[in-house]
Amino acid sequence: MTWWRRHPVLTAGGVFVVVVVGYLAVTFIQVWHASRQDDARPAQAIIVLGAAQFDGRPSAVLRARLDHAADLYEQGLAPILVVTGGSQPGDRFTEAAASAAYLESKGVPASAIQLETTSRNSRDEIAAAARFLHQQNVRDVLLVSDPFHAFRIDAIADGVGLNAYVSPTRTSPVKGVAELRAELRETVAVAVGRLIGYDRLDRWLGR
């Protein structure tokens, strides 16, 4: 009798480990590859994923996203800029409100900015934006966030009925080891999200 027949539990465990490691490795490659792509092109709207703000001032991470979104708007790639993100307990401002004020200070007209102010995670931000954009017959969107975030938000947008392309900022302060850690976190998030759904996952993660 062969070894694997004499030790079926160990054999099954070994196969399971190989499958899981292989799945995570493939997912990491997908996350890494997406982070290096820029699919900027004409669209109907630009959606900026939220990040921390401090009493109305966007954090460095959020500023990098907004600067890139403003550049895309100035290039004429879309007539609408959607900023997303609610508030944390005790905040006086939502992420979206801080983002809108920052964009206006950079010369983006208020009439071009739409706010989504209720969400606290990526899936809810995109889903909420999709709901009011669908009412305006908007389907084609550019998503702006950090590079490590690109693969997951693209998948989320597809799941809520948006035809999305991702144009990550290249000026994010998340670099080096911090970026690698973020890509590893995203790898796990994508791997799990595919199995249980991104809506449930993001409610667990908080973003």
Q: Is residue 48 part of a domain?
A: yes
Q: Specify the 3-state DSSP secondary structure of 175.
A: coil
Residue partners of 177: CB distance under 8 A and separation at least 6: none
CATH of the domain at 161: 3.40.50.620
Whole-number pLDDT of residue 145 = 98
Q: Does the CA dihedral 161-68-115-45 come out positive or negative?
A: negative
Q: Is residue 19 part of a domain?
A: no
**Dist. CA 50–CA 86, nearest whole Å:** 8
Count of other CB atoms within 10 angstroms of residue 78: 23
Place 201 in a pLDDT band, splitting at 50, 70 and 90: confident
Q: How many domains does the chain have?
A: 1
Q: Is residue 29 part of a domain?
A: no
Q: Is residue 88 part of a domain?
A: yes
Pairs from 202-205 (Cβ < 8 Å, separation ≥ 24): 202/121, 202/122, 202/123, 202/124, 203/121, 203/123, 205/121
Q: Is residue 145 part of a domain?
A: yes
Residue span of the structural domain in which 167 resides: 35-205
Place 20 in a pLDDT band, splitting at 50, 70 and 90: confident
Q: Is the pLDDT of residue 130 over 60?
A: yes
Whole-number pLDDT of residue 90 = 80
Query: CA separation (Å) from 190 to 6, 123, 171?
Result: 36, 12, 24
Q: Is residue 30 part of a domain?
A: no
Q: Specify the 3-state DSSP secondary structure of 120.
A: coil
Query: What's the whole-model pTM score?
Result: 0.89
Place 4 in a pLDDT band, splitting at 50, 70 and 90: very low
Q: Is residue 144 part of a domain?
A: yes
* 3-class secondary structure per residue, 25-93: HHHHHHHHHHHCCCCCCCCCEEEECCCCEECCEECHHHHHHHHHHHHHHHCCCCCCEEEECCCCCCCCC
Whole-number pLDDT of residue 170 = 96
Contact (Cβ atoms closer than 8 angstroms) between residue 82 and residue 47: yes
Q: Is residue 10 part of a domain?
A: no
